[in-house]
Amino acid sequence: MTLTSDVDAFTTTRLLDAIAPTDGGRDILDPATGAVVGRAPEQTPAELEDAIARARAAQPSWAKLSHSERSAHLNAAADAIEANAEALAELLSREQGKPLNGPNARFEVGACASWLRATASFELAPEKVVDDGVGHAELHYRPLGVVGAIGPWNWPMMITVWQLAPALRMGNTVVVKPSEYTPLSVLALAHVINTALPADVLHVVAGGRDIGEALSGHPGIDKLMFTGSTATGKAIIRSSADTVKRLTLELGGNDAGIVLPDVDAKAVAQDLFWGAFINTGQTCAALKRLYVHEDVYTEVCDALVEVAAGMPMGVGLDENNVLGPLQNKAQFDIVATLVESAKASGAKVLTGGDPVADQAGYFYPSTLVADIDNSNDLVTQEQFGPALPIIRYSTIDEAVEMANALDVGLGASVWSSDVDRAREVAARIEAGTVWINKHGAVDPRVPFGGAKQSGYGLEFGVEGLKQLGAPQIISY
């Protein structure tokens, strides 16, 4: 089955007009300039009830389609995103703050289309569990019903697609609640995707915390997917208990990277930098604390300072910039407070750490902090911004112990010229994913999930797709 979208390419203005509320709502401001980006609806619990009811009514017909038919719709949605890529990227840059270029807005929009296509391509055939000539048992996966999705403000479009793509492919309908900070991006993305889907298969309900709380506890939601803080994840677990709904939680991380003494500092410096500073550090699985062996500590610090000096930061619509502002004032204050804590402790700021007081926007400079104690707040608390603490270690055992000391474990990385040695160290780290000589490199084919208090459940790949289905055994 092949579908094509008849939608013309939107301009950013047309997208904003299409998603604007007919009355009420609130202005969304550009975190780089303070200018009004557009007006977002402030929807009510009653509107959420209506969206869930319509999604439930539409779900049986959607579920009756074959996997290949639903995949055709996902591919058509990817076509629609690609046809509107520049308008979506411009809106994302203005609302979230990330630049158009680098691993930022255009990259994120492109990833939305790629993730839809990858999810559409996965094969999910019944699995033979027993076939011994005496008995037969097969494992099938059936749609759950209606999936609720609550997303964050750091990668609002891409993470929304991570949630909705497998849910739709499995035959569920979806109700999305976007972050209050970035509702326009998600509303616009859904508007484009819905040009390729049947009516009421995908809904977005934009609003405040009351909408998220109502969604997580609603008896009409069969599964909830959430990406965000550990504290909010715990609240969702509590609110979902009465309905025993299934959960996939991708929660906070404070990812460690361990640099072994055999590393070539200059060869890995750029990848180290982007592992930490992608999206100006506002990424759950970004490198947030770096442990460097004493033999190469100075060389790694110097190489990172050199790379940081060549990464321009500024307004996202300027094609020259690759780093943008923090998305909101609250996050800016967290980063600033943690860096000041490091300074007060006697840690050495190698670069950055001095935001311009009268600069428009929430810009915090790329900051590298050396000679810092492992117990400092900048190390133990997730900064979620452009400030990287670099901790010196003497033995591998010491580095692994420090990396594993926190109660989170989303991702981690090991850096070495000896891959076999790096794999040995990686196996000792308590994290859902450990990368070697890279960090944060997610792939739609590779399952992804957290350890400890970084959440539970898997996303991506066939294993992630199965998490959006109800397992059923047929035995005969």
Q: How many CB atoms within 10 Å of residue 169?
A: 23
Distance CA 467, CA 248 (A): 8
C-alpha torsion sign, points 297, 406, 345, 439:
positive
β-partners of residue 290 are 257, 390
Q: How many CA atoms lie within 13 A of 376 on its CB side?
A: 27
Residues sharing a CB contact under 8 Å with residue 66, sequence separation 6 or more, in sequence order: none
Distance CA 20, CA 8 (A): 19
Q: What is the DSSP letter of 281?
A: G
112 is catalytic: no
Q: How many CB atoms within 10 Å of residue 264?
A: 14
Q: How many CB atoms within 10 Å of residue 52?
A: 22
Distance CA 160, CA 155 (A): 8
Nearest to 469 by CA among 175, 170, 244, 74: 170
**Residue located via tokens 């939608």:** 7
Q: How many CB atoms within 10 Å of residue 142?
A: 12
Q: Which of 250, 382, 430, 459 is catalytic?
A: 250
β-partners of residue 435 are 413
Coil/strand/helix, residue 168: helix
Tell me the two tokens of residue 394: 């003497």
Distance CA 130, CA 66 (A): 25
Query: Could you tell me where the beta strands, DSSP code E, fall in 50-132?
Result: 127-131
Tell me the two tokens of residue 60: 């049986």
Distance CA 299, CA 291 (A): 13
301 is catalytic: no
Q: In one letter, which amino acid is 64?
A: K
Q: Which of 284, 301, 430, 459 is catalytic?
A: 284
Tell me the two tokens of residue 358: 């009268």
Annotated active-site positions, please? 250, 284
